[in-house]
Chain A
Amino acid sequence: MSAVMGRYKPGDAVRVDDRAVAGHCRAPWYLRGQEGVVVEVLGNFRDPERLAYLRPGLPRQILYKVRFEQASIWPNYIGASSDALEADITENWLHASDTAKRGAQAL
């Protein structure tokens, strides 16, 4: 699975798009607009947001495991500063983030 080459690589800082979508959607609302770091390129999968409507799921989407700092998602988060949340996000939901330095630190 790791042989897949996408726009992003482990360590890259990314931001989840914050567009609104009516219908089936796999980018959780609570992560829209959030910044995280790619920890793994998971593979190349049929697009679930098209498969849900009985379409072939094309074009396929590169899937990334993205790590978010809990404290950056939830302003009142209670826990360790290293606590993290990881979610699997398709490339069509991601943008390169300006705060690229965070990547090296978080990994």
Chain B
Amino acid sequence: MMHDHDHDHSHDHAHDHAGAGHAHPPQRDHDAGPMGVYEVMEEAVRTLLIEKGILSHAEIAVQMDLMDSRSAALGAKVIARAWVDLAFKQRLLADCRSALAELGIDIGQIAEFKVVENTPATHNVIVCTLCSCYPKLLLGIPPAWYKSLAYRSRTVVDPRSVLAEFGVTVAAEQTVRVHDSTADLRYIVLPMRPAGSDHMSESELAALVTRDAMIGTAVPAAVRS
């Protein structure tokens, strides 16, 4: 999408080569070859924490399962509720923490959440230029491109071109509003309810809401009857 080479590899490695047309060395699989410095460090710290009784293997496994279990389905459920319940939507926009609590979602103490609403006049898109802040609780593990240098830099400089590459065309008379998650808030986009969805139930509506629609790099497609 943004580079001219295969980008299936993770973007957790240092990625300071902004030039086009370069070739990557082959990316090894995580379980092949010698461990990198961060893998060695992680294993050393984890082993020490377990040896000293601060953490257990079981607690780490539970946390990993919890992280893996999070997906955009939870965010989609929130969006669908906002589409069918105007009062809930207003509470969600005004005070995300307590609105999510109504749905049994505890966002914890690490960050606050904020929902920004797409309207016929304004399209919102989320980015984190400083690192890769992402509403994991509602959307799951972020896609590799969200963490890429290309997405993080180009979305603030030239959001309309980035959106076009994702297939989202924003009309000239509409406003594009980019949200750079620079601090303690995690953002998700409340997309517009698609045309043709009037007859659908809340759970059917939730199935229309994709991860990318909640990042702002997609819009839910109109429903054909």
Contact = CB atoms under 8 A, between A and B. Distances in A.
A14 to B, nearest CB: 14
A1 interface: yes
B112 interface: yes
B184 A79 contact: no
Q: Report whether over half of chain B's contact residues are helix, strand or loop; otherwise say mixed.
A: mixed
Interface string A61-98: 00101000010001001111011111111100000000
A42 B182 CA distance: 12
Contacts, number: 76
A50 B95 CA distance: 27
Contacts of B112: 1, 42-43
A59 interface: no
B172 A87 contact: no
Contacts of B180: 28, 85-88
Residue from the set A48, A78, A87 with the largest chain B CB neighbour count within 10 Å: A87
A55 interface: no
Contacts of B158: 77-79
A30 B183 contact: no
Contact of A43 (B174, B177, B178, B184): B184
A80 B172 contact: yes
Contact of B174 (A1, A27, A48, A80): A80
B73 interface: no
Contacts of B178: 70, 84-86
A83 B159 contact: yes
B49 interface: no
Contacts of A70: 159, 176, 178
Given A70-B178, A88-B184, 16 more contacts: A26-B182, A26-B183, A27-B182, A28-B182, A43-B184, A45-B183, A70-B176, A74-B157, A83-B176, A84-B176, A84-B177, A85-B177, A86-B177, A87-B179, A87-B182, A88-B183
20 contacts: A1-B95, A26-B130, A26-B182, A26-B183, A28-B130, A30-B129, A30-B156, A48-B184, A70-B159, A70-B178, A74-B157, A78-B158, A79-B176, A80-B176, A83-B175, A85-B180, A86-B180, A88-B184, A89-B182, A89-B183
Interface of A: 1, 26-28, 30, 42-43, 45, 48, 63, 65, 70, 74, 77-80, 82-90
